[in-house]
Amino acid sequence: MTDVLEVALRVALVLGVFLVLPLLVGQTEHKAMAHMQSRLGPMYAGGFHGWAQLVADGVKFAQKEDIVPTAADRVVFKLAPAVALIPYLIALVAIPLGPGVVAQDLDVGVFFVLAVMAVGVLGPLMGGWASANKFSLLGALRTAAQLMAYELPFILAAASVAMAAGTLSLVGIVEAWEPWWLIWQLPAAVVFFVAGLAELQRPPFDMPVADSEIIFGAFTEYTGLRFALFLLAEYAGIVVLCALTTVLFLGGWHGPYDDVLGWLWTLLKTMVLAFVVIWLRVSYPRLREDQLQRLAWQGLVPIALLQLALTGVVVVART
Amino acid sequence: MKIPGAGLAKGLTVTMRTMTKRSVTQQYPEVKPELPPRSRGVIALLEENCTVCMLCARECPDWCIYIDSHKETIPAPPGGRERQRNVLDRFDIDFSLCMYCGICIEVCPFDALFWSPEFEYSELDIRDLTHGKDRLGEWMATVPAPPAHDGHGVRPKEVDAALKALDKPARERPARKPAPGPESEDAG
Amino acid sequence: MTVVEVMFALLGVIAVGSAILVVTTQHLVHAALWLVVTLGSVAGCYLLLSAEFVAWVQVLIYIGAVVVLLLFGLMLTRAPIGQSDDLDSPLGQRIAAAVTAASAGAVLVASVVTSFRGERIDLSDDRVAGSTGDVGAAVFRSWVLPFEVLSLLLLAALIGAIVLSRRDVSAGPAGARMGVVDEFGEIAEADGVVR
Amino acid sequence: MPLLMPVVLACLLFAVGIFGVLARRNAILVLMSVELMLNAVNLNLVAFDVYLRDQLLAGQTFTLFVITIAAAEVGLGLAIVLLVYRNRETAQLDDLHQLREDDPGPPDVRDDTRETAAR
């Protein structure tokens, strides 16, 4: 009986994190982006500095009509947002918050998270194809091209840190982490973070949704709740990516008093990274398709390979 | 030497610096804007000063001032004769046409028109933007006092004349109090 | 029947059912999406067989990369929404194919049933048969030569794919035959031909 | 678990794959059917590996290799299909019979050589 209770508690915790953190990131984006552009951002909803803006957005989305284009492939069209969102929820299961605070410590943690995140990208592909809209299709094509380019450096960078720690378990990696890895694994961290941004299609890698060229890419035809699910998937993706970067490269719960405050350090590092994501979005213009591909193949992949070689040499030298 | 990534870092600092500065957004409905003096919000009418000379209506570039009037005969005072005067029936300004050039105010010879800084008179129906003389008269309450004269500016002619008169020996002229310039009637 | 067996049977039914849909559906993209279901349930089978690492590799490589590639290919070859009539061979060939497949399947099933009836896979102990550490050790201790050969093969495949898809590689007659119009110009031209 | 369960499942998947390869005309669908057959083989490998408690984990290792090769195969196969599509505007395997001897051909078959020369 206690087992069932514990599982239920863990699931509830993950669900809570999944529902709260993306909204927090979204609100931070609203406010930080506004101030970076000399604006105030939302100020009304909820009273104090518009804290309830995203709740209000959710209510608004729920009220909107759910439109499916006549020529669309209805089943695929309706399924796509769920396919985009649920993998991130599952990925959160394996991410440790503090020492012993993890929903499920998996032996293949890194691999699990990467595999599940890879499934999530099917969502935009399905939605883009099923919308029966040329802009959506273009968006889906760009998504696919971008994913194929950035999946490789993403996994190579994660492999580097897994090699350094000698385990694929996320908990094991955090336990093996030492501060000097910040320097040693820095290239891998940068590659991982940048490639992850590209996988999430966040600006400046938002070619697939480039609203000035192809309206909103794969999401053009979506309205109401389904559109909201896609947006939520984007922010959940930011949370997962930042948490994963924290766990892999920034030492997760390591920090002062980490046996008590470990969860706080993880959350803090995650939120700082999420802020960086927003910061990058505001600062840089969108990359062109050729720049995008060049960055992946001529920049990130060689760096990741060099890092992998360096990690291998250091690991072998230390043992 | 050019450090790789310097441009990227520069972009980041620009946004970060902007974030730490105060934003320029005006929270208009809660906080009223601080309008500069002589803001052109709406045109107010001081009906008593209007003589129906029609100058404003004629000078208006887009013909948005409509004036109707009739003549009225004032009964003769004892020993005098009858006089006629114009009575204003209608003085409308259509603010959906008005382009706030202010020419009507400039040309008014009798100071019947004034700029008021009030700007919150939007309407749901465009026809309601035509303000009658009552509405225009109500705006008079919002017309700010005329700004004080600039001490470094050229003095009005009247003041000079008065001062010159003051300089003359008192016996050459009958004693008269010189009016101080700024408070004179025509200052506004 | 234990819980594991029930789940395996369920996954097996899903896998075979969606596989049949892959080869019979008239919607091109639906075929790829049903393939995702098949691959996913096969990954689930691996998990039940306690081959964890292989299962997640299956998800990562097959669903994350292969299916995305297939969808990309389908979109580039202008997969239409709705039914396409020209996906299947003529009826005669389909019947022949069905007969071939059914007889092959029957022979295979019959032979494995006669050979392995009553044999059981022992999953009772908690030992994971395919933990990451075990697989890693096996690959890099016992099978390191095939692994290296495989990396060479992958490199060759990579170069081959690049050579195939680039149009400015050879300036000879073969390259000229492929045409030098850029991709979008070519597609626009194809439009004109088809419609 | 009976060994028969995964093994029979593999046989069935393989048979479905055979049907797909033989009955489909679209090149990409044929590729998908090949993937099904490869999966059947993989399932077999893993099942026997677990059944035999192989110390060298040969079955699972080779499953990994097969998955890798399958990825390479799809990459190359799709490159070829796209090239064919680019040149012929079709991905139907039945239409690709230019090398066949003495082909009267349906009237709509395009003469590729003349076409490109005309370009």
Looking at per-residue pLDDT, the higher value among B167 and D119 belongs to B167
A130 in C contact zone (CB under 8 Å) = yes
Q: Give the percent of chain D with pLDDT over 70.
A: 85
What pLDDT, in 10s, does the model give residues D59-83? 888 888 998 888 888 888 888 888 8
Q: Which residues of A touch B5 (CB under 8 A)?
A: none
Give the closest of A73, A107, A167 to C81, CB-based. A73
Q: Which of C2, C29, C42 to mutate to test the interface with D (most CBs of D within 10 A)?
A: C42
Considering C39, C62, C82, which residue would you say is the last residue of a domain? C82
Cα–Cα separations (whole angstroms), residue B51 to A80, A219, B67, B108, D5? 74, 66, 11, 10, 107
Regarding whether C2 and C72 lie in a shared domain, the answer is: yes
What pLDDT, in 10s, does the model give residues A139-182? 888 888 888 888 889 989 998 988 888 888 888 888 888 888 88
In the block, tokens 């003096």 appear at: B37
- Residue A204's pLDDT band, with cuts at 50, 70 and 90, is confident
Q: Is the pLDDT of residue B164 over 80?
A: yes
Distance (Å, rounded) from C-alpha D60 to C-alpha C137? 12
Query: For all residues of chain A together, what is the average pLDDT?
Result: 85
Regarding whether C78 and C1 lie in a shared domain, the answer is: yes
pLDDT in the model for residue C128: 64
The total number of structural domains that make up chain C: 2
Considering C43, C66, C82, which residue would you say is the last residue of a domain? C82
Instruction: Determine the average pLDDT of the residues in D24-51.
Output: 88
Chain centroid to CA A281 = 14
Give the closest of A115, A144, A147 to C56, CB-based. A115
Considering C58, C82, C106, which residue would you say is the last residue of a domain? C82
Q: Enter the ipTM.
A: 0.71
Q: Which residues of D touch C160 (CB under 8 A)?
A: 76, 79
- CATH code, domain with C8: 1.20.120.1200
Does residue C113 lie within any of the structural domains? no
Distance (Å, rounded) from C-alpha B138 to C-alpha D3? 96
Q: Give the percent of chain B with pLDDT over 90.
A: 11
Domains and CATH numbers, chain D: 4-118 (1.10.287.3510)
Sign of the torsion angle spanned by Cα atoms C133, C139, C141, C142:
positive
Task: For residue A284, give the chain B residue with the closest CA.
Answer: B11
- Residue A275's pLDDT band, with cuts at 50, 70 and 90, is very high
Q: Which residues of C touch A167 (CB under 8 A)?
A: 132
Does residue C88 lie within any of the structural domains? no
pLDDT in the model for residue B176: 55
Instruction: Please spell the DSSP secondary structure of C49-108, one letter per residue.
Output: TT-HHHHHHIIIIIIIIIHHHHHHHHHHTTPPSS--TTSBPPHHHHHHHHHHHHHHHHHH
Q: Touch between chain B and chain C (3+ CB pairs, < 8 Å)? A: no
Cα of C23 to nearest chain A Cα, Å: 18
Check CB contact under 8 Å for D23 and C58: no
Tally of CB atoms within 10 A around D94: 12
Check CB contact under 8 Å for C129 and D49: yes
Check CB contact under 8 Å for A35 and B27: no
Instruction: Please spell the DSSP secondary structure of A159-171, one letter per residue.
Output: HHHHHHHT-S-HH
The candidate with the shortest Cα–Cα distance to D19, out of C26, C83, C85, C20, is C20
Does residue C97 lie within any of the structural domains? no
Cα–Cα separations (whole angstroms), residue D72 to B175, C62, D33, D65, D82? 114, 11, 16, 11, 15
What pLDDT, in 10s, does the model give residues C141-183? 888 898 899 989 888 888 888 887 777 655 444 444 444 444 4
Residue C191's domain comprises 142-195
Which chains have 3 or more CB–CB distances shorter than 8 Å to chain C?
A, D
Q: Is beta strand B113-116 parallel, antiparallel or unpaired with respect to B83-94? A: unpaired
Residue C146: what are its φ and ψ, rounded to 5°? -55, -35
pLDDT in the model for residue C59: 86
CA atoms within 13 Å, Cβ hemisphere of B173: 12
Does residue C125 lie within any of the structural domains? no
Q: Which residues of B touch A35 (CB under 8 A)?
A: 18-19, 23
Q: Is the pLDDT of residue B66 over 60?
A: yes
CA atoms within 13 Å, Cβ hemisphere of A39: 11
C66 in D contact zone (CB under 8 Å) = yes
Distance (Å, rounded) from C-alpha B20 to C-alpha A234? 27
Q: Which residues of D touch C8 (CB under 8 A)?
A: 1, 5-6
Looking at per-residue pLDDT, the higher value among B150 and C152 belongs to C152
- Residue D98's pLDDT band, with cuts at 50, 70 and 90, is confident
Break chain A into its structural domains and give their ranges.
2-31+64-318
The candidate with the shortest Cα–Cα distance to C158, out of A148, A191, D26, A307, is A148
Query: For all residues of chain B together, what is the average pLDDT?
Result: 83
What pLDDT, in 10s, does the model give residues A65-109? 888 888 888 888 888 898 888 888 888 888 888 777 676 777 778
Q: Which residues of A touch C128 (CB under 8 A)?
A: 107
pLDDT in the model for residue C183: 42
In the block, tokens 């999430």 appear at: A200
Q: Give the percent of chain D with pLDDT over 90.
A: 12
C19 in D contact zone (CB under 8 Å) = yes
pLDDT in the model for residue C193: 38
C170 in D contact zone (CB under 8 Å) = no
Chain centroid to CA C100 = 21
In the block, tokens 């057959």 appear at: D37
Average the pLDDT over each of A264-278, C156-170, D72-86, D95-109 and give the range with the smallest value: D95-109
What pLDDT, in 10s, does the model give residues B82-135? 888 888 888 999 999 999 998 999 898 888 899 998 888 888 999 888 988 888
Domains and CATH numbers, chain B: 42-142 (3.30.70.3270), 157-181 (no CATH)
C123 in D contact zone (CB under 8 Å) = yes
- Residue B170's pLDDT band, with cuts at 50, 70 and 90, is low
Which DSSP symbol is given to B18? Answer: H
Regarding whether C147 and C74 lie in a shared domain, the answer is: no
Check CB contact under 8 Å for C120 and D3: yes
Check CB contact under 8 Å for A115 and C64: yes
Cα of A25 to nearest chain C Cα, Å: 26
β-sheet bridge partners, residue B84: B73
Q: Which two tokens stand for residue B83?
A: 């006089």
Distance (Å, rounded) from C-alpha A205 to C-alpha A295? 11
